[in-house]
Amino acid sequence: LASACVSESDAPDAADDKLVGKGTGDECVIDSPVKVGLVLSLTGGAAFAGEYQQQGLELGFEELAAKEGVKYEVITEDDETTLDVSIAATEKLINRDKVSVLVGPTLSNQAFSTFEDAQEAGVPALGISTTAEGITEIGDYIFRDSLPETEALAASIPAAKDALGLKSVAILSDSADEFTASAYTTMIEVLKSEGIEVVADEKFETGDEDFRSQLTKVKEANPDAVVLSALPGATIPLVKQARESGITAPMIGGNAFNSPVMIKNLGDAAEGLIVGGAWSDALESQGNAEFIAAYTEKYDRAPDQFAAQAYVAAQLIDQAVRADCDGNREAIKDNLGQIMELETILGPLSIDEEGEVHQEPVVQIIKDGKFEILK
């Protein structure tokens, strides 16, 4: 039985012939533009990341437009940080626009549904910020260039342990979101293997605004640090209320912390926050300085990790298209799973046949209002 709202289009690769070109690699020439569909949270709770992603992708595809031979038509949909809208946007891009490849959605929470639909329709989908465990297991059409939380936390928690001499922590986690719930499971595993005791383990739900009852328990437990699994909507009031209630312990966060939005909104309360991630402006990776300069010039603000991962997505798609000089869904799917040690602004990056990304994590700490590399 076909899924309720997404069925494979009657002529999935209607423009097949036109999307197969002559030559390979840099000499590749494809006559029709390759259609790329973006599903991003441009409004709502995850817009803190979605806006940076849109700009990173725009810059990436703009630079590709200057290269000969392959043109891209980018179609952008805002999923409003809502599951229903994300599903409908994905369906439109697949069936109406007949895109060759999807990028996004912003949140794992949406991806666990929309990637199922992409898989069923046979459309390759590239996650750029979806970090939950199990994303790429959805199927062979699903890829990501976003370092999974299992890797990021496996780097950040030991680094925090070394830097702070951690023996005990309190965990505060959002149990309603797929990404934060998944990250929670990883945190428990990593803390256990590091021999760090969990002295308080408190839950809340996406949208909660008052964390005082949980924070009272955290304060009583007197941990060496607080580990947080939350989206920014909760993180900002939560960290503020923690500091107001007299909790001074350092905080360790997940992928949602890799954002200047945290620093802007938390001010002094952001100091000392530790987070593992995929990118830093201090990373001496190939092209990073040029990327930062071009982005800052164009958008009048510095890029963040979400912009960097989005920018790399354009490069990965171009690599996959040019590999066989073929802009169709099947060719992109086959070649995205064979990216080997590509030099990117995230450092050397590979994507394996399972669609999983491999790269070095970076652990950062917020000091004097700026991200600094801890490890």
Residues β-bridged to residue 367: 370
To ligand 1QQ, the closest distance from the beta carbon of 246 in angstroms equals 28
Distances (CA, A) of 344 to 18, 276, 312, 360: 29, 18, 7, 12
To ligand 1QQ, the closest distance from the beta carbon of 11 in angstroms equals 33
Q: Which two tokens stand for residue 54?
A: 């849109």
Task: For residue 179, count CB atoms less than 10 angstroms from its CB and return exposed for 0-12, middle for 13-18, buried for 19 or more.
Answer: buried
Burial letters 132-153, b for 16+ CB under 10 A, else e: bbebbebeebbbbbbbbbbbbb
To ligand 1QQ, the closest distance from the beta carbon of 289 in angstroms equals 25
Q: Of the candidates 108, 214, 285, 319, which one interacts with ligand 1QQ according to CB under 6 A?
A: 108
Residue carrying the six token digits 């994303």 = 135
Nearer to ligand 1QQ, 129 or 280 (CB): 129
User: CB under 6 A: which stretch of 6-14, 72-80, 129-137, 197-205 binds ligand 1QQ?
Assistant: 129-137
Q: For Cα atoms 172, 175, 181, give the angle at the middle one, nearest 5 degrees.
A: 90
Contact map string, positions 202 to 241, toward ligand 1QQ, x by CB under 6 A: ----------------------------------------
To ligand 1QQ, the closest distance from the beta carbon of 185 in angstroms equals 13
Non-local (6+) Cβ contacts of 17 within 8 A are: none
To ligand 1QQ, the closest distance from the beta carbon of 207 in angstroms equals 15
The site for ligand 1QQ, by CB under 6 A, has a size of 13
Q: Which two tokens stand for residue 292?
A: 């930062």
Q: Name the amino acid, one letter, at 200.
A: A
Establish if 119 lies at the interface with ligand 1QQ (CB under 6 A): no
Q: Of the candidates 54, 106, 114, 119, which one interacts with ligand 1QQ according to CB under 6 A?
A: 106
Report the sign of the C-alpha dihedral through residues 324, 329, 335, 339, in that order.
positive
Query: How is the beta sheet containing 142-144 ordered, strand by strand?
Result: 72-78, 34-40, 101-103, 125-127, 142-144
Q: Which two tokens stand for residue 28?
A: 């590749």
Q: Of the candidates 256, 274, 278, 345, which one interacts with ligand 1QQ according to CB under 6 A?
A: 256
User: CB under 6 A: which stretch of 32-40, 123-131, 241-249, 327-335 binds ligand 1QQ?
Assistant: 123-131
344 in Cβ contact with 287 (< 8 Å): yes
122 in Cβ contact with 141 (< 8 Å): yes
- Binding to ligand 1QQ (CB under 6 A) within 154-183 occurs at 179
Q: Of the candidates 47, 57, 85, 107, which one interacts with ligand 1QQ according to CB under 6 A?
A: 107
252 in Cβ contact with 227 (< 8 Å): yes
Establish if 130 lies at the interface with ligand 1QQ (CB under 6 A): yes
276 in Cβ contact with 363 (< 8 Å): yes
User: CB under 6 A: which stretch of 17-25, 107-115, 165-173, 326-334 binds ligand 1QQ?
Assistant: 107-115
Nearer to ligand 1QQ, 90 or 255 (CB): 255
User: CB under 6 A: which stretch of 54-62, 75-83, 127-135, 319-327 binds ligand 1QQ?
Assistant: 127-135
Establish if 131 lies at the interface with ligand 1QQ (CB under 6 A): yes
To ligand 1QQ, the closest distance from the beta carbon of 148 in angstroms equals 9
To ligand 1QQ, the closest distance from the beta carbon of 84 in angstroms equals 17
- Binding to ligand 1QQ (CB under 6 A) within 34-63 occurs at 46, 49
Kind and range of the H or E run holding 225: strand 225-229
The DSSP 8-state label assigned to residue 94 in this structure reads I
Binding site for ligand 1QQ (CB under 6 A): 46, 49, 106-109, 129-132, 179, 255-256
